[in-house]
Amino acid sequence: MPELPEVETIVRGLRSLIRGYTIENLIIRAESLVAYPPVEEFQEVLKGKTIEDIDRRGKYILLKLSGGKTLVVHLRMTGRLLVLAREVAYDKHTHIIFQLNKGLDLRFHDVRKFGRVYLVADGDYRPAGGLQNLGPEPLAPEFTLGDFSKALKGKKANIKSLLLNQSFIAGLGNIYTDEALFAAAISPERSADSLKEDEVEALYDSIRLVLQKGIAAGGTSFSDYRDARGEKGNFQEELQVYQQGGQECPRCGSIITKKKIAGRGTHYCPNCQK
Ligand SMILES: [Zn+2]
């Protein structure tokens, strides 16, 4: 599933490729992906709108349109948002085609069809799933160590499940949570409120660092993730623990374990993550 660095990479690509373009027509081949409003209204309102800017909040892509509307895209598991020339053939997994001017298409491609699009009034995210309940952006300057520390107080849940909770902190998924906990040398099974001051600081720094590195590498591609140009990311080559079960820990040489924690396959070093 695309996480913050993958979505940020897509957003940056979209900004350079389709900012200022106008949606001339839509082809909707799978109506189930249009979550709000009803398909006819979705189609009608979008026609003629100009894409003024593209932004990100958590794992959501926000296309700011003329007329005070925002097109929200959530890629979920296998969604891709691709910019292609109209003459490029599309396959059966291409479900929505936004035909732009100058012969360009913005295409929503999704093998598993869990992705969703929403068309809302600017700032009114109520119809858009979990978007309105997102926690702070981990890379935003206003997200401080003090805020993070305060938010952890009294939380009995294990730290892994808390970091995955989008209303606690936005944008982290299984990959970057495992990598951040490894970088901070903290066990994913620790209760959140048991972290000492220096551990909280290490985790805060690690979260920001792994996300920044993930963005710098253009995201992590195993099978599905592609950026707006259809290119893979490279962060899979820099992963320390995620998908490294059975390998030697790069820090201490012990064997990395994979275990189900918070309902997710979690990778960690049982020796140096305390
Ligand atoms: Zn280790």
Residues 111 and 224 sit within 8 Å (Cβ to Cβ): yes
Alpha helices in the chain (DSSP H): 4-18, 39-46, 145-152, 159-164, 174-183, 197-216
Domains with residue ranges and CATH for the chain? 4-133 (3.20.190.10), 145-268 (1.10.8.50)
| 59 part of the active site | yes
What's this model's pTM, rounded to 2 decimal places? 0.97
- Bridge partners of 191, per DSSP, are 158
In this structure, what token pair is assigned to residue 102? 């100058």
Give dist(CA 204, CA 184) in Å, integer: 8
* Active-site residue, from 49, 59, 107, 160: 59
Residue 77, CA distances (Å) to 74, 187, 198 in order: 9, 26, 35
Give dist(CA 148, CA 250) in Å, integer: 28
| 137 part of the active site | no
The residues placing their C-beta within 5 Å of ligand 1, an ion, are: 249, 251-252, 254, 269, 271-272
pLDDT digit string, tens, across residues 248-263: 999 999 999 999 999 9
pLDDT digit string, tens, across residues 31-55: 999 999 999 999 999 999 999 999 9
Distance 18 CA to ligand 1 centre (A): 44
| 38 part of the active site | no
* Active-site residue, from 232, 251, 258, 264: 264
| 226 part of the active site | no
